[in-house]
Each structure stands twice: as C-alpha cells, then as structure tokens.
Amino acid sequence: MISLRHLSTTFAARGKNPITAVDDVSLEVDRGSIQGIIGFSGAGKSTLLRNINLLERPTTGEVIIDDVDLMKLSAEQLRQARHQIGMIFQGFNLVNNLTVAQNVELSLKFAGVTSTKDRRARVAEALEIVDISDKAAVYPAKLSGGQQQRVAIARALATRPRILLCDEPTSALDPFTTATVLQYLADINRDLGITVVVVTHEMEVIKALTDHVAVMESGRIVERFAADRLHDKTFAPTTSIGRYLVSDGIHLNGRQQSELDQASLDQVSTAELAVGGRV
C-alpha cells in the first residue's frame, strides 16, 4: 500500500549546517496493516510521517501509494491524492469557532464535495463511527481532550480515506482516554480496512495497536520487527535504542541508566532544536 524508497529530508538551519531529519529511509507498509514508528523526540519520525502525504516534501526519494509516485504528481493531482490519506494531528487542530459537525464538514469542503446533503450524511457517518454524534452542535472548547481527538479522527475519516496517518495521537491524553482512542483506531482498521501508520514515543501504544514496528534514531530506521514479538518476554531488540524503548527505563524519571551513550542523545536534541521541533 505504501512504499517509501530512499527518502531523505533536509532542513536549513540558521548559521549552522543543514539538518537531515530523514536520512535514506526505505519502508514498506502492507495494505490493511497498522505500522508503528517509534523513537525519541528528534528522531525524525514525524517528518517521515508527513513525507507520506508530502506535507513535508522529501528532498530526495520516492513516495509510492498504490503504485503511484506522489513525487511525480502535479499540484492538482497531489491535492486529489491527498483526499485518500487522512491525518490525525497531535494537537487536534480543531477550529474553535466551528461546531463539531462543522469541523468535520470542513474537510469535505476542502475535498470538493459540493452537495450539502452528501456532506451532512458523511459527517453523521463519521461522528457515529467514533460515538460522538451527540456532540455535533457543540464547540471544541466544551469538549474534553479525548472528545476533541475523536472529532479529529472523524474529520480524517469523513473523506473515506484508504490510509490514516496518526502523529502522536495519544500523547496529550490520560491513560484511560488513550485506551479509548486506540480502540477506535483498531476498530477503524479492522472494520473499514484502512491502512494506519502511527508515530509515537510510547511503547504501550505500539504494543496495544500495531502489527509492525520501525525504530528510528537520528533520521534513520535502525530496526524493524513484528509487534507481536513485544509480548514475548525473551525478545531482545538488536539495537540499544530498541532495547531501551522496550525496557521499563523509558517510564522512569532519569533514575535508571540508559544504554544509549550521551553523544547519541545530544545529537538527537541538537537536531530537534535546529528545526524548531518539527522533526
């Protein structure tokens, strides 16, 4: 369904050498699967996710969706192709002066659905999928974080996409709400057959939701494995960052020593700051 081939994305940095946020990454995502991408802040995972729909255009490489290279499309062709790629953002990105239904409908207007009747029917359909139909006339400020994220999911589903990209979809949510949102994503994948790519720094999200895992560090994918291996107590990732992410160390407040050397951590932090946190 998704084939990323030798992608690299480089950003200019003021007074410094350019920063390579994604460095020669290749990744295949099967149709109907849930692909997890995990790594520390600054690893390049969000940039890689935005490369898939060209919100961040790669400097080099190929982005192939269903045998079509998005990098070769015209602006109008790319706009049409993006209607099949829904996206859920970390910060919800709802329009505060629009109701829940109007926020969801906005995506359909951008997608060129001109019939008001069709738009309203698809809004109702999307809201029902995430069980938030009763909030259709409510404004975002009156919603909890979990409800806002469900509206964001409904907005992404309204265009009936084949692919759903999720950028840290649960990082602003409490554990109970996180479990609820993950269940909706799992149901969407199972019931609608939508291919899902989820970026996160939370290993519990990876364990609960994904089929396959790619571990990123310093712009590269350094390790891949099937997610079900995480439930095997004898499983040990081959890289130090993979072992650290799988361990309980990531949940502690600095009291446990990481296997990662300080130079590696410094490199990640420098990359993140240089591009204003976009990676």
Q: Where are the beta strands (DSSP E) in 120-230?
A: 163-167, 195-200, 212-217, 220-226
Task: Please report whether residue 134 resides in a domain.
Answer: no
pLDDT in tens, 99-145: 999 999 999 998 889 999 999 999 999 999 999 999 999 999 999 98
In this structure, is residue 179 part of a structural domain?
yes
In-domain check, residue 188:
yes
Q: Could you give the count of Cα atoms lying within 13 Å of 4 in the half-sphere of its Cβ?
A: 27
Which pLDDT tens digit goes with each residue over 136-174? 999 999 999 889 999 999 999 999 999 999 999 888 788
* CATH number of the domain within which 52 lies: 3.40.50.300
Q: What's 17's DSSP letter?
A: E
Domain residue limits at 199: 2-84+161-274
Helical H segments across 53-115, by residue range: 75-82, 100-110
DSSP 8-state class, residue 257: P
Task: Report how many domains make up the chain.
Answer: 1
pTM of the shown model: 0.84
**Residues 244 and 260: beta-carbon distance below 8 Å:** yes
Q: Which of 49, 55, 58, 59 is nearest to 2 (CA)?
A: 49
CA angle (220 as vertex; 218, 226 as ends), nearest 5: 120
Q: Is residue 138 part of a domain?
A: no
Residue 114 lies in a domain: no
